[in-house]
């Protein structure tokens, strides 16, 4: 269902296609120049059967998070919708005009290789992602549901002393009070409650910011209390009374020890940082730190 787009095309007689920025399961995204010479990103959504509804949902969520009603300084942490139009095609091809952002954190991680980002940058990036999530959760009542490095885009700035990032791709997002799917989140970042098939809400996004897999979850965070373990409709697939099925005996390795032994953290840093992460990885969704609470943590 991808709509064919060529370099040089003029979309809606207004946006001239300069180059391809990226693509995903739902769309292709193009760098375009508008009539005033401003550069924007145009997301051309798939329009085949089954995709039109997803496109309309993304449009509604983006309209709301970009609207003046929900305006707040942290709204700047979410990619802004600038315009929208339809092209002629199967079901009409929906196009969302977005502010132009840079490469994703994933691309950046790949370019940097080991040992990865320096801690002061990690803190700046986390702060901005949490500000964006606090805005989505509290102001907009939106759950992003797909927080991962691919969807955190760098915002180009002239000076390189500071980093600025924005949360992109509201394509799988939903409303706190209206979910579109039971199976949310990219597998590696999927929260315990979603893996188990229990109720989910904004705390699922916080888990993704921190993250992992049930076997590793238990190794790192300890035994899952029975009331959480049996709360989901998939619980029986993973657990046989108290033990994980199909997984080697779990070797516990506490987060604090992992930080010290594997990543050579200083003891004090390890204890502050593990404290920060453990609040985000609370098995009980009602006790898990909110984005606003994370922002208050001394580690940041
Ligand atoms: P997914 O399979 O991740 O759901 P999708 O079809 O919803 O994909 P996006 O993730 O929104 O599409 O965009 C696909 C890619 O296009 C991104 O990974 C990014 O590289 C690029 N991109 C998206 N929005 C922008 C933007 N505003 N500025 C620059 N590049 C962008
Ligand atoms: Mg994406
Ligand atoms: Mg998407």
Q: Which residues pair with 250 in a beta bridge?
A: none
Q: Ligand 2 center to residue 154 CA distance, Å?
A: 14
Q: Ligand 3 center to residue 35 CA distance, Å?
A: 28
Binding-site annotation: residue ranges for ATP: 43
- Nearest-Å Rg of the Cα atoms of the chain is 21
DSSP character string of 157-178: -SSSSS--EEE--GGG-EETTB
Q: Ligand 3 center to residue 263 CA distance, Å?
A: 32
Pairing, β 152-154 against β 239-240: unpaired
Residue nearest to atom 3 of ligand 1 (CA): 24
**What is the domain partition of the chain in residue ranges?**
10-99, 105-295
Least confident segment among 21-25, 270-274, 277-281? 21-25
The token pair at 29 is: 């995204």
Cβ < 6 Å from ligand 1: which residues?
21-27, 29, 41, 43, 79, 98-101, 104, 150, 153, 168-169, 171
Superfamily of domain 10-99: Phosphorylase Kinase; domain 1 (3.30.200.20)
Please report the pLDDT score of residue 159 as a whole number.
63
**Closest approach atom of ligand 1 to CA 79:** 27
| ipTM tops 0.90 | yes
- Express each pLDDT in 198-211 by its tens digit: 999 999 999 999 98
Token pair 């095309």: residue: 9
Note whether 241 and 174 are within 8 A (CB): no
Annotated active-site residue 169? The verdict is: no
pLDDT band at residue 249, thresholds of 50, 70 and 90?
Answer: low
Nearest to 168 by CA among 106, 84, 73, 77: 77
Question: What is the C-alpha separation between 86 and 11, in angstroms, rounded?
Answer: 9
Query: Which of 12-18's residues contact partners 24+ apart within 8 Å by CB, and which partners?
Result: 12/85, 12/87, 12/95, 14/85, 15/40, 15/42, 15/97, 17/42
The residue among 167 and 117 whose pLDDT is bigger is 167
What would the mean pLDDT of 153-182 be, rounded to a whole number?
89
Please report the pLDDT score of residue 22 as a whole number.
92
- Express each pLDDT in 52-62 by its tens digit: 888 999 999 99
Residue nearest to atom 11 of ligand 1 (CA): 169
pLDDT at 108 over 70: yes
- pTM attached to this predicted model: 0.91
Note whether 117 and 109 are within 8 A (CB): yes
Note whether 149 and 104 are within 8 A (CB): yes
What is the distance of C-alpha 284 from the center of its chain?
21
The residue among 251 and 261 whose pLDDT is bigger is 261
Is residue 31 helix, strand or coil?
A: strand
Please report the pLDDT score of residue 259 as a whole number.
94
Superfamily of domain 105-295: Transferase(Phosphotransferase) domain 1 (1.10.510.10)
């Amino acid at each position: 269902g991808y709509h064919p787009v060529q370099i040089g095309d003029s979309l809606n007689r207004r946006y001239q296609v300069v180059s391809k920025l990226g693509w995903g399961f739902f769309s292709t995204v193009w760098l375009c120049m508008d009539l005033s010479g401003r550069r924007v990103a145009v997301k051309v959504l798939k329009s085949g059967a089954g995709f039109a509804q997803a496109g309309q949902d993304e449009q509604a969520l983006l309209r709301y998070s970009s609207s003046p009603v929900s305006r707040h300084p942290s709204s700047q942490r979410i990619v802004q919708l600038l315009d929208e139009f339809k092209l002629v095609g199967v079901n009409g091809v929906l196009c969302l005009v977005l502010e132009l952002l840079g490469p994703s954190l994933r691309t950046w991680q790949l370019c940097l290789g080991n040992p990865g980002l320096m801690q002061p940058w990690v803190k700046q990036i986390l702060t901005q992602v949490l500000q964006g999530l606090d805005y989505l959760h509290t102001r907009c009542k939106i759950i992003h549901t797909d927080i991962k490095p691919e969807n955190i885009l760098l915002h180009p700035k002239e000076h390189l002393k500071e980093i600025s990032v924005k949360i992109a791709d509201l394509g799988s997002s939903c409303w706190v009070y209206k979910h579109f799917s039971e199976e949310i989140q990219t597998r590696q970042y999927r929260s315990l409650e979603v893996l188990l098939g229990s109720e989910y809400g904004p705390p699922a996004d916080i888990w993704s910011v921190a993250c992992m897999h049930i076997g590793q979850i238990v190794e790192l965070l300890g035994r899952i209390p029975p009331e959480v373990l049996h709360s989901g409709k998939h619980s029986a697939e993973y657990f046989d009374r108290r033990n994980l099925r199909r997984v080697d005996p779990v070797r516990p390795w506490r987060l604090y020890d992992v930080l010290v032994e594997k990543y050579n953290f200083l003891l004090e840093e390890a204890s502050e940082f593990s404290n920060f992460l453990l609040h985000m990885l609370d098995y009980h969704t009602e006790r898990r730190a909110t984005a606003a609470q994370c922002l208050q943590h001394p580690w940041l």
